[in-house]
Structure 1
Amino acid sequence: MDWKALWIWGDGEESPRNEWRCFRRTFDVPAEGAELASLHISADSRYVLYVNGTQVGRGPVRSWPFEQAFDTYEVGHLLKPGKPNTIAALVLHFGVSTFYYLRGRGGLLAQLDYGTGEVGLTTDASWRTAIHRGQHPRSPRMSCQQAYAEYVDARDWDGGWMEIGYDDSGWIGSVELGEIGMAPWTSMKPRDIPMLTEEIVYPVRVEALAKVNSFKLSTVIDVRAIMSPGSEDHANHVQFTGYVATNVRASRAARATLGFLAWGECLKRFSWNGDIVGEDRFYGIMPERYVDVELKEGDNLLLIDVSSQAHHGKLNIGVYADDPMELNFVYPCAVEAESPFLAIGPYDTSVCYDHKPSRTVNWEDETYLSVFDAVKVAEDLEHERYSPWAKPIPLKLVAEADVFGLCAWRKDNVKLAVPAQLQNAVIPNGEAGVVPVFEGFDTEVLFDLGKEYSGYLSFELEAEAGTVLDWYGFEYMAGEYRQLTYGLDNTVRYVTEAGRQSYSSPVRRGLRYLALNVRGAAKPVKIYGVTFTQSNYPVAEVGRFECSDPLLNDIWEISRHTTKLCMEDTFVDCPAYEQTFWVGDSRNEALVSNYLYGVQDMLKRCLRLVPGSKDQSPLYVNQVPSGWSSVIPNWTFFWAIACQEYYEQTGDKAFAVEMYEHVRFTMEHYLQKIDENGLFNVKGWNLLDWSPIDQPNEGIVTHQNLFLTRTLGVAAEMAELAGDESGASRFREASDRLAAAINEHLWDEEKHAYIDCIHADGRRSSVLSMQTQVVASLTGVAQGERKRQMDAYLFSTPANFVQIGSPFMSFFYYEALAKVGGVSVILDDIRKNYGNMIRHGATTCWEQYPNFAENRANPDELTRSHCHAWSSAPAYFLGREILGVRSLSAGWTEVEIAPVPCGLTWARGSVPHPAGGRIDVSWTADEATGRMQLAVSHPADVLARIKLPEGFTGDIKITKLERLS
């Protein structure tokens, strides 16, 4: 790519907080040569591209800033030869690091090349730009993993700004930042996967209608930014001590309710008019906490100790009073300030790391602690003793409203029958669904999309100007219970202009249910359509599975749908809460995808992204590219294993050799963590499962040592592929030494099991877990009698062992069982645990099993995330074990087809072949007679070893399909 374009931006800050900036350029297209035009584009942070008013695409894919990705679109068919044309782009700049973006600076880069080789257009100072005035940048963060919730006022911005005839004379010229190679985008890389899909789906019905009331006054304060200066540049945990103060001004005395949603961070304690509010006055189920207070006429001092170890770092405040009155937050000191909130602190602050030393703040500092008892009235805040720490909170850090809180908490909730006419809102037939208006209430309409989706919300409606539409998406409900997305502000606030209008959100979100709260409407709102654009990596539904057990069929389908929703520009953990590429999760997700879709380029880009984190940690971090520098050693191990499995899947030796250098680099650093006893001893987030196994973040964790032996073996295998014989010997010997040390130091002869860990102080764990025994069996470290004991545990788990708590851990359990002929146990476990999901109405696979509800305060909360791709194991194991399709050689040049009926009477399905085509299997089985009829179709160049199950006889029909030359 021969770049002539310049990076451009507008005037103002380099990296503004939550800024949407519009760019456009009108130009003449020559009469000839434009039909093969290509447009190359990138932006920091994300863009939406338009050509002559038509939306062309979104991007760029997530990437490290030193390898900034750019996209290429063929746009010749959209250009108008011999006429003026307009290219426009909306750029969403986050201004903060997330779990999928590292803060850079605002920028747009674009170049139009004609098929003749002529450069038709480049970004430079001639491009016109303006801040999107309808977008409110003071909306709160969606989550610590993501950027910002959405607040758009249609009255303040012309929605046709990207059209050809739009008058941009009031805009300014762009600022030229520099040429290709400028920091932070020091190199450019072309997009290495196809464009994502955009498939329109509609709600299946209006689920509910209600008239509601919520907080009269609310806000969200970005405490993290206040108490940890510079934290916009990273996404690590922070610690701090300090306070936030405001006056709640009431036009008359009344009883009121204070609400703190997502409580747990930034609310250590608080006082109201000088009185300390004790824990005994709170009510509500965590993380919702409420307290009833007496409002006096005038100002009421609210002083909150926000000291915390925080990731999100948000303080949600809501105030409700039954009496009609004016309520406002007011700055508590005599001087004027731009926001109504005062910060006192930080008295101490630090950044926390799980894999390297970090300092703990002084929670017992008397200067900090004394504030709470000393401040009884607002005037006390002006004492000179607080002047070194007291400062007004900038307005940009105070949200105009807590839209999540307003949608989540209802003081009044009067349910109504849904009129048939309102169902028109979800039927694309041109008729409007009319949302009624109730005096003294807001109106809530609840839409059900039928299953979870991941993408972009759009709607068309007619309303009077100034009507507030608060949209809130969530994943799960059952009867009266809604699982609110604490930690995720999945909202859009849209304020209407007058008349008929439409809006399409540029912010990706995941949801099944969509609650619309209509506020301040003088007349009914007409809804002409609500749509959702499902967007994922483009896949063909090659993999199939059906059998005689309808429950297994349903489970396979939710596993398929979950995997698809979590295939974006990388594998992601979930479409709602995080949208993060968790490195370890993706290993299992890739194996599932192999049996469903057979695509490889997305996995290849996932694997290549990981070593980019080596400057954060040579042990590689657990989510990339990310502002959170966090190490889960197992996640690095799973990445290395996935590199080797990619070679086994594709036979791509060149890629294996490329990745070996990165595997070698990190394994050499991991070997530096071997202690005097020959065991791996590290400070990190030593995670494998959510259940309460003994896996401290410092010390010797058995499951990590076990997986490291396997990873060192993988490094040896990849070294051999790369021709590094000395490296192969070194890693193989290291693996053997570590396995011997595990068997010497981590086995409990009396209990006939491997202990979970040895703590940093030398104390041996008393905990025995199923997780540790599974990994001992799976990795082959357990040998002889110990291996037989481990395998026995797979079939009959002792009751005193910690049980498996997540479908992610079940994947390894199923792998271990499959190795020892335990397929029937796999099916029983799938029916039990995934069947429970189906019984609770799941359309996607859960992150956790509900048998660990003791770890959550709310027993109705079956799991945190209801769509988590690390949980899609059934789609892999049903194809691999029940259809019996397994690879025997790299690139699947040789395969085995050996079905295992396990009491099923029939099964059929397809498995993609990595070189193209597929393997089709269909069988019927009669265990009473021992007869099986088996039909197999496969590419002719694949050597297929086909066998009937032990104890069965029957007929095998084979069809070989020639590939196109």
Structure 2
Amino acid sequence: MNSGWQANWIWSEGEESPRNEWHCFRKTFTVTVEEWGKASLRMTADSRYVLYINGQRLGRGPVRSWPFEQSYDTYEVGHLLQPGKLNTIAVLVLHFGISTFYYTRGRGGLLAQLDLLADDGNVLRAVITDGTWLTSRHLGQHPRATRMSCQQAFSEYIDASLWDDSWKEREFADKSWANAVIIGGVGDGPWTALIPRDIPMLTEEQVYPLRVESLSYVKSFHWSAAIDIRHHLVQGSENHANGIEYMGYAATVLRLEQASRVVLGSPFCEGIAAVTLNGEVLAEFSGKGPERYAELELQAGEHLLLLDVSGHSHPGIIHLGLYCETPFAFYSPLKVADDEPKDGQSVFCSIGPFATVTHIDHQGVLPLNRNHSVYLEVINAVACASDLERYTDWVKPIPDKYVSEADVFGLSVYKKEQTELAIPTTLQNMVIPNVEAGIIPLTAGYDTELIIDFSKEYSGYLTFEVDAEAGTIIDFYGFEYMNKNFRQDTYGLDNTIRYVCGQGRQLYVSPVRRGFRYQMVTVRNASRPVKFYGISCLQCNYPVAEVGRFQCSDPLLNDIWQISQHTTKLCMEDTFVDCPAYEQVFWVGDSRNEALISNYLYGVNDIVKRCLRLVPGSKSQTPLLVNQVPSTWNSVIPNWTFFWAIACHEYYLQTGDRAFAVEIYAHIKFTLKHYVEKIDDQGLFNIQGWNFLDWSPIDQPSDGIVAHQNMFLVKTLRTAAELGRLADDPAGAEWLEGEAEKLAGAINDHLWDEKQQAYIDCIHADGRRSEVRSMQTQVVASLTGIAQGERGERIANYMLQPPAHFVQIGSPFMSFFYYEALAKSGRVQNIVDDIRHNYGVMIENGATTCWEMYPSFSENRAREDLLTRSHCHAWSSAPAYFLGRELLGVRALTPGWTEIEIAPVLCHLTWAMGSVPHPGGGRIDVAWRLERGGTAIRLEVAYPEHVKVNIRVPDGVMTEIREKKLGV
């Protein structure tokens, strides 16, 4: 179990799992000349770490993992150690203290062991984490920073004036630091097993902006806050990420010294059901749109603000702001006579909760009783702080830790005044990697706002260097899209950093990953102009060479392929993720398509295997397996489990790794047994869950029989049967095949509409047959082989000419399956035409990455500029796969690509060329060009010599083929 580990888990004195705290650890030691040379450092931490050796940043980790399979990293560090001198290991540990969509809450901890090795590999000495390590909380990091999103942990609030950044250097004076506390050995605590990292370290590539896009003087809120009402109202909810429904209120008192005109607003109003001021309902907060603002004329004195925070929410964050040019203050209604709240209490109190429910997709829950008498009474009975006295059993203070000191997102979004300025040429120095500074202009009474364009989206760690007076505030807000009239704010994502400057010149490298194209930079509270010596991003992704290539005679297709490639790269972290900005979550179903795309771009296999192996770790949450891992949102999308099983088989086909196929088959068979138990008396798969496939308005209720996932279950059972045969389980394979055939028969018996000549979308839980006909269901019927004979021919015609009255495809994710169905019948021209049409809209709108949705199906679309939610979503990168597989015609015929086919399709092009990685090493190059007025084609191919190649050429043209076999 220990595998040579001698180290202990260590932490600081105090809370085991503090909310959003950064802790620093140091160990100083000497190395003799005899010991210097080979040195191996193994380490891990909960939740994340940044490692420094003698002041040099060496790495970040660990990769996301289940706590019962805690991943650790290994670094070769001998070249960084100095014999005969003091050496220092310094580690910054970021502990979340809450569960997210990519982290299961454990407790704060650091584990590290440096082995000094002899030439023969024997350990001469080990430097281990123990009570001799020194530790301090990072005193410049504010734990009350806002939550980034329900999927992620926290944004960043750093006061550099309170912390000496030289703490990681060898010579740092650490005498005031405390000794670390040993909290257990290897195998103790939540980390019951240690697993070595199974992928390479990620990249860190410094990228610079294109230009300063705009410059303005602005005024925003004078006061702002974000309240984590979820974790306050629902005790224990920090231990999971499930959706919660609750009923309750939050309240605060605004005290004005004189009659004033104020703006009270919520820059993101989700989670606020109603607002009263002094007992009067503010109608502005019952409107539509994410932002709500009320302009009010208020008298001097105290004003009670009461917010109904009832609702169903994942994040449970309430955003508030106030603009007021006369003196004001907020007070807790519980202590309106005091100058300040006491005992760690904020200026807010809560009333309730009157009821709470935790929602899990595949489990029924009782609805909240919204007729609770006290809940209904409060909104009408409370007009001033003293009115709360009759509800003392329900009222309690909201602790400071749940209320941010500033809502940087709100300050960035809301503008009371904005004056745009011409951009001085010298200001562009801040985005140029040179020695000159860009000087930020100031004017009295205003903040200075810049928008920096990085030219395309990136994902990594924001870095900047400034010279400023201590106390100057610089706010950073990253977002993905803007045009000349519109900025798409990241509602639901607090993608911000607040940096309070120390004195003089200083460099900061954020340890928090974020995705963005634009950075809004706002300088506040500056007593002199701020000098910006640079801003950049350490682009961080899975290490890949850009082996796959594509280019052709159509510039639009070239542009589309490029944005597909860049999107896929940004969404390859320590797993595939859905998007680099909003979520950074490994969604199991998304990754099936991402893996196929990656195969044609980069040809790397370790990340795919890692993703597939993570999924069964969720079986302790549900035998159906959850849809994002590792996560504490116990959410099931049946299709996502099906896609995972299909992806496991596709990994075998890609690599020929039979050992993996045998290993994973047991997990697939396990979960499919539980899915088959959900088949009802009609022989159909019938489940309560998140029965999702596409964002468009197809009929896919959360309870009942949904056609598309019944069909995908058939394909999954058949695929599992193939794995069963590889695993030498003929009985299991026979059972799986039998279940597939029975289910396919039931689908054709019960879900076909003879009159409409199409498959219906669903049968509702009450037995009502859906009247919706969608392209999605017909596509899946074709792709999974459910539609046979005349029905198959009918459905094939729908693929070519979708009926106008059918619900149309709403996302590029669904288009992937549509293209697969077209490819089955050789309709490559239709694929290319659809790519030109739908992805062409993205290119026309300046996209540098692929969108999550098509514009007509963008959720909560408030205006025509709101084209999609996420502007970088890897489930949308289908062109990079299909242009290589179908247009260039490069595809495997056997597992491991020992035999391949090259069968290019012309698609009205005059030339095309590209490369596809071979999973065994090397690549396949294809180039063709029409000649002699389009009557002849010259085809050039190159491939590894050990690969058997079948070449098929288009009919009706003379062909000259040149082959090159490459040695290995």
When normalised by structure 1's length, the TM-score is 0.98
Is 2:371 the counterpart of 1:369? no
Aligned to 1:80: 82
Moved more, 286-295 or 663-672: 286-295
Among 208, 211, 222, the alignment partner of 2:217 is 211
1:151 and 2:153 aligned = no
State the Cα distance separating 1:821 from its structure 2 match.
1.7
Counterpart in the other structure of 2:877:
872
- Do the aligned partners of 2:430 and 2:532 also contact (CA within 8 Å) in 1? yes
- Could you say which residue in structure 1 is the equivalent of 2:34? 32
CA-CA distance at 1:694 after TM superposition: 0.3
Match of 1:360 in 2: 367
Q: Which amino acid aligns with 1:691?
A: S
| Contact 1:261 1:287 (8 Å CA) reproduced | yes
1:450 and 2:450 are equivalent in the alignment: no
| Contact 1:245–1:332 (8 Å) recurs in 2 | no
Whether contact under 8 Å (2:724, 2:733) holds in the other structure is yes
Contact 1:217 1:327 (C-alpha < 8 Å) held by counterparts: no
**Counterparts of 1:673 and 1:953 in 2: how far apart (Å)?**
56
Contact 2:721–2:732 under 8 Å retained in 1? yes
**1:41-440 mapped onto 2 (5 Å cutoff):** 41-116=43-118, 117-265=123-271, 267-278=272-283, 286-321=289-324, 323-334=325-336, 337=342, 338-383=345-390, 386-440=391-445
Rounded to whole Å, the distance in 2 between the matches of 1:149 and 1:293 is 31
- Three-state SS of the structure 1 residue aligned to 2:781 is helix
In the aligned structure 1, how far is the partner of 2:785 from the partner of 2:860? Answer: 32
Instruction: Map residues 751-830 of structure 1 onto 2, 5 A cutoff.
Output: 751-830=756-835
Q: Does 1:562 align with 2:572?
A: no
Matches of 1:349 and 1:543, distance apart in 2: 51
C-alpha contact 1:244 1:344 (8 A) present in aligned 2: yes
Alpha-carbon distance in structure 1 between the residues aligned to 2:621 and 2:933: 60
Residue 947 (structure 1) aligns with: 952
Contact 1:333 1:382 in 2 (8 A): no
Instruction: Supply the AA of the counterpart residue of 1:115.
Output: L
| 2:483 matches 1:473 | no
Residues 249 and 330 in structure 1, CA contact (< 8 A), matched pair in contact too: no
State how far apart, in whole Å, the 2-side matches of 1:200 and 1:667 are: 45
Q: Which shifted more, 119-128 or 631-640?
A: 119-128
Task: Write the mapping of 1:477-488 to structure 2, written as runs, cut at 5 A.
Answer: 477-488=482-493
Check whether the contact 2:260–2:326 (CA below 8 A) recurs between aligned residues. no
Out of 604, 614, 630, which is 2:635 matched to? 630
Work out whether residues 928 and 937 of structure 2, in 8 Å CA contact, stay in contact via their aligned partners in 1.
yes
**Contact 2:515-2:580 at 8 Å conserved across structures:** yes
C-alpha contact 1:247 1:332 (8 A) present in aligned 2: no
Supply the distance in 2 between the matched residues of 1:56 and 1:329 (Cα, whole angstroms).
46
Measure, in 2, the Cα distance between the counterparts of 1:796 and 1:477: 35
For the 8 Å contact 2:117–2:125, the answer to whether it is kept is no
* Corresponding residue for residue 713 of structure 2: 708
Q: CA deviation at 1:781?
A: 0.7
Q: Quick one: which amino acid aligns to residue 641 of structure 1?
A: I
Relative distance call for 1:524 and 1:669 in structure 2 (3 A) is same
Matches of 1:539 and 1:657, distance apart in 2: 28
d(CA) in 2 for partners of 1:907 and 1:146? 42
Q: Offset of 1:204 from its aligned partner?
A: 1.1
Rounded to whole Å, the distance in 2 between the matches of 1:137 and 1:296 is 36
In the alignment, the residues of structure 1 paired with residue 232 and residue 279 of structure 2 have an alpha-carbon distance, to the nearest angstrom, of: 24
Please report the TM-score for the alignment, with normalisation by the length of structure 2. 0.98
Structure 2 residue matching 1:502: 3-state secondary structure: strand
Q: CA deviation at 1:299?
A: 1.6
Identical-residue share of aligned pairs (%) = 61
**Counterpart pick for 2:745 among 729, 740, 752:** 740
CA deviation digits over 1:288-331, x for unaligned, max 9?
1112222221221100110011111000001112x343343544
Structure 1 gaps of 5+ residues are: none
Helix, strand or coil at the partner of 1:608: helix
Write out per-residue CA displacement over residues 473-523 of structure 1, whole angstroms, 9 at most, x where no aligned residue: 000001121000000000000000111111110000000000110001111
**Counterpart Cα distance in 2 of 1:588 and 1:483:** 27
The question of whether the paired residues in 2 share the 8 Å contact of 1:217 and 1:328 is answered with no
User: How far off is 1:357 after superposition?
Assistant: 1.9
Contact 1:215 1:318 in 2 (8 A): yes
**Is 1:4–1:111's contact at 8 Å kept on the other side of the alignment?**
yes
1:260 Cα deviation after fit: 1.1
Is residue 901 of structure 1 aligned with residue 906 of structure 2?
yes
Matches within 5 A, 1:951-962: 951-962=956-967
User: Is the Cα–Cα contact under 8 Å of residues 282 and 290 in structure 1 kept in the other structure?
Assistant: no
Q: Contact conserved, 1:239 with 1:307, CA < 8 A, in 2?
A: yes
- Whether contact under 8 Å (1:11, 1:175) holds in the other structure is yes
Secondary structure of the structure 2 residue equivalent to 1:129: strand
Q: Does the 8 A contact of 1:40 with 1:71 survive in 2?
A: yes
Q: Distance in 1 between matches of 2:333 and 2:30?
A: 54
Once residues 269 and 346 of structure 2 are traced to their aligned partners in structure 1, the CA distance between those partners, rounded to angstroms, is: 23
What amino acid is the match of 2:187? G
For residues 687 and 956 of structure 2, what CA distance do their matches in structure 1 show? 49
SS at structure 1 position matched to 2:901? strand
Contact 1:757 1:764 in 2 (8 A): yes
Displacement of 1:812: 0.2
CA deviation map 1:178-227 (0-9, x unaligned): 11001200000000000000000011111110000111111000000112
Amino acid at match of 1:43: A
**3-state secondary structure, aligned to 1:208:** strand
Distance 1:85 1:99 in 2: 38
How many residues end up aligned between the 2 structures? 957
Q: Which residue of 1 aligns with 2:669?
A: 664
**Alignment partner of 2:832: what SS?**
helix
Q: Deviations over 1:698-719 (max 9, x none)?
A: 0000000000000000110000
Gaps of 5+ in 2: none
Residue aligned with 1:956, SS: strand
- Measure the CA separation in 1 of the matches of 2:241 and 2:513: 20
Match of 2:355, SS state, is: strand
- Please give the secondary structure, in 2, of the residue aligned with 1:786: helix
User: Residue 535 of structure 1 is aligned with which of 537, 540, 561?
Assistant: 540
Deviation at 1:893, TM superposition (A): 0.4
- CA–CA separation in structure 1 for the residues paired with 2:672 and 2:295: 56
Aligned match of 2:530: 525
- Residues 273, 286 of structure 2: 8 Å contact kept: no
How far did residue 932 of structure 1 move?
1.1
CA contact (8 A) 1:756 1:765 kept: yes
The alpha-carbon deviation at position 118 of structure 1 amounts to: 2.4
Secondary structure, aligned partner of 2:611? helix
Question: Is 1:917 matched up with 2:922?
Answer: yes
SS in 2 for 1:591: helix
